[in-house]
Amino acid sequence: MFYGTELNNRLMLGTAQYPSPQILRDAIQASGTEVITVSLRREGPQGEGFRDLLRDSGCRILPNTAGCHTVQEAVTTAHMAREIFDTPWIKLEVIGHADTLQPDPFALVEAARILCSDGFEVFPYTTEDLIVGEKLIEAGCQVLMPWGAPIGSGQGLRHAEALRTMRAHFEGIPLVIDAGIGAPSQAARAMEMGFDAVLLNTAVARALDPVAMARAFALAIAAGQEAHGAGLMPVRDMAQASTPIFGMGVLG
């Protein structure tokens, strides 16, 4: 449940870097996604035609503030997005490090506080830091979006234990793995850990066949969610026979 909205499909799909508008349209359909993200600052020359494509997809649009490095940039971009797309949803990014694209935690919390007080429903792109997560919740966020790894790196869940700790700590808060996912198996692992959704872009958009890859991610995320609900077997240090020896006949 994201700000009162229940999603059936837990894959959120970015819309940048696709080879063509038609491939983007087909990938969205193949993924079955109900939420697509778009950056106003990196929208490119497509303009209103690109926005029409997004609206015609039937998906909920989650605008984002990608490319913003200050609180003022992010807040201004969010207000523009709300006016253009007529939605209170905003994926909040305030980048603090040029190489890793790691969010600036101080600016992120400040921008989140401003936007939440302005009536936005904020999806903050953050790290697995528990203290930052607490501050974002205090600022009014009802969702957290920790990175799996740096944006576009394809490294998957680089700090899996920290993410597992975060999932346990924020029980009841929707958590979405955002960034760094490069393979369907990585997305499935996130869902097996109990995360509520996965947001990705590059792994699909830059695949040799984006449409097939979008379908693969949808299947992986559904499988991971099903496995988590079914209950994964615990990891053991020692072997345990699947066939009991008690009650078996003794030969000899």
Q: Specify the higher pLDDT residue, 249 or 75.
A: 75
In a domain, 121, yes or no: yes
**What share of the chain has pLDDT > 70, as a percent?**
93
C-alpha distances in Å from residue 104, one per residue of 4, 87, 93, 110, 226: 28, 25, 9, 10, 34
In a domain, 145, yes or no: yes
Instruction: Please report where in the chains the tokens 């870097």 appear, as a residue.
Output: 17
Per residue, the 3-state secondary structure of the chain, as one string, reads CECCECCCCCEEEECCCCCCHHHHHHHHHHHCCCEEEEECCCCHHHCHHHHHHHHHCCCEEEEECCCCCCHHHHHHHHHHHHHHHCCCEEEECCECCCCCCCECHHHHHHHHHHHHHCCCEEEEEECCCHHHHHHHHHHCCCCEEECCCCCCCCCCCCCHHHHHHHHHHCCCCCEEEECCCCCHHHHHHHHHCCCCEEEECHHHHCCCCHHHHHHHHHHHHHHHHHHHHHCCCCCCCCCCCCCCCCCCCCCC
Q: What pLDDT score does 43 carry? A: 53
Residue 215 sits in which domain range?
11-230
pLDDT at 93 over 70: yes
In a domain, 246, yes or no: no
In a domain, 64, yes or no: yes
Query: 163 is written with which tokens?
Result: 């993410």
Query: Taking residues 202-214, what's their average pLDDT?
Result: 97
In a domain, 244, yes or no: no
Q: What pLDDT score does 242 carry? A: 79
pLDDT at 44 over 80: no
- Residue 245: pLDDT band (50, 70, 90) is low
249 is in an annotated binding site: no
pLDDT at 244 over 80: no
pLDDT at 243 over 80: no
Catalytically active residues are: 91
> Tell me: the pLDDT tens digits for 45-80?
456 678 888 888 999 999 999 999 999 999 999 999
In angstroms, rounded to a whole number, what is the distance separating the alpha carbons of residues 78 and 172?
26
Q: What pLDDT score does 247 carry? A: 62
The CA dihedral of 34, 134, 141, 172, to the nearest 10 degrees, is 50
In a domain, 4, yes or no: no
202 is in an annotated binding site: yes
In angstroms, rounded to a whole number, what is the distance separating the alpha carbons of residues 150 and 90?
20
Number of domains the chain contains: 1
> Tell me: the pLDDT tens digits for 174-193?
999 999 999 999 999 999 99
Angle 70-73-77 from CA coordinates, rounded to 5°: 145
CA-closest candidate to residue 143, choices 120, 162, 114: 120
In a domain, 238, yes or no: no
Cα atoms in the Cβ-side hemisphere of radius 13 Å centred on 103: 33
Determine which of 29-33, 42-46, 127-131, 192-196 has the lowest per-residue pLDDT on average: 42-46
Q: What pLDDT score does 116 carry? A: 98
In a domain, 211, yes or no: yes
In angstroms, rounded to a whole number, what is the distance separating the alpha carbons of residues 52 and 152?
26
CA-closest candidate to residue 179, choices 199, 208, 159, 205: 199
CATH code of the domain containing 212:
3.20.20.70
231 is in an annotated binding site: no
pLDDT at 130 over 80: yes
In angstroms, rounded to a whole number, what is the distance separating the alpha carbons of residues 242 and 239?
9
Name the range with the highest mean pLDDT among 15-19, 81-85, 94-98, 194-198: 194-198
Q: What pLDDT score does 246 carry? A: 63
- Residue 100: pLDDT band (50, 70, 90) is confident
Q: Specify the higher pLDDT residue, 205 or 100.
A: 205
201 is in an annotated binding site: yes
Q: What pLDDT score does 45 carry? A: 45
64 is in an annotated binding site: no
